[in-house]
Amino acid sequence: MAGVINVSQFPFLRTISRRASSSSSETPPSSGATTAATRGEEQSAAPSFAAQAGFKTPEPKRFAIRPDKGLDVAGAALAIFFRLDTGVFLNGYSVSFVSKDEIPADQYALELAGYKVKETSKLGPRPEQPIMIYEFESCPFCRKVREIVAVLDLVVLFYPCPRNGPNFRPKAIELGGKQQFPYMVDPNTGVAMYESDAIIKYLVDKYGDGRVPLMLSLGLLTVSTLPLHLPLSLMQGQSYRPSKLPPKPLELWAYEGSPFCKLVREVLVELELPHIYRSCGRGSPKR
């Protein structure tokens, strides 16, 4: 029974109670916790992370694209053009040139003409636990939600739901009552909901400044530009490939606007591998 999930392996799944799919059963977003001061506060202090024991820093290599991956990268990169960089830059992104001494040598920063590029952003309150989202890569409505995850610099636990996947697609249907994606569960507030626009509005109200980015608020125009890159990507990240579930979710440091991150995500979704997604777009302190 390799295709059956052991729920005890994933503690987040054990904490979710089943919610009805009607809008009347959804818990309304809480607005009292966010203040104007925290919404506009500039995030300048980088969080600290420790490498695992035995981790060895890989040797730097000159940037190159494998000849057999050129078409894949080109297809993934088209999304940047059609989406006008949505999912690349964080909310309130700004850039300035500073002296080399202002940014420590062990801290990430681009260097140009003897100066370092200082990138900052304005982030809202941070969720204590990762937000859980059931989705799959080739779904345009799921991409909308992944883009706002990048804009808000959130940490998300993604449960991939490819077609014919035996684990998380049935679980999402069991939890929400409908075969519809994306489906979000916020363990920090108990809110669970369908509909990409509703999820986006909830996230910007709860963890942002309340404003939906332009490219995510254009209705039909937003939806029409989302799938334009899919023909070149050959609809990767859509159908299940047999795999063995890991004992706990993987961790991926990435952001939605990167074509290279997209190729990795396609494989994770097809293999139905749950992963904690640490979004780190331009301006993220996690970089």
pTM: 0.76
> What is d(CA 90, CA 148) in angstroms, rounded to the nearest whole number?
9
Nearest to 110 by CA among 90, 123, 132, 95: 95
Residue 71 has what pLDDT?
78
In the chain, the domains with their CATH numbers are: 74-287 (3.40.30.10)
Any idea of the CA torsion for 144, 190, 25, 15, to the nearest 10 degrees?
Answer: 100
Tokens of 53: 């024991």
pLDDT at residue 241 above 90? yes
Residue 122 dihedral angles phi and psi, to the nearest 5°: -120, 115
Weakest-pLDDT range from 29-38, 121-130, 181-190, 205-214? 29-38
pLDDT at residue 163 above 60? yes
pLDDT at residue 83 above 90? no
Contact residues for 63 (Cβ-Cβ < 8 A; gap 6+)? none
What b/e readout covers 103-138, taking b as 16+ CB neighbours within 10 angstroms? Answer: beeeeebeeeeebbebbbbbbbeebeebbbbbbbbb
Q: 170-218, pLDDT tens digit by residue?
A: 999 999 999 999 999 999 999 999 999 999 999 999 999 999 988 888 7
Task: Give kind and range of the element (H or E) at residue 48.
Answer: none
What is the bridge-based pairing of β-strands 131-135 and 110-112?
Answer: unpaired
Residue 61 has what pLDDT?
83
Residue 33: pLDDT band with limits 50, 70, 90: very low
Residue 105 has what pLDDT?
80
Weakest-pLDDT range from 4-8, 135-139, 162-166, 278-282? 4-8
Is 229 within 8 Å of 178 (Cβ atoms)? Answer: no
In the beta sheet, which residues pair with residue 252? 277
Tokens of 275: 């992963």
10 vs 265, more confident: 265
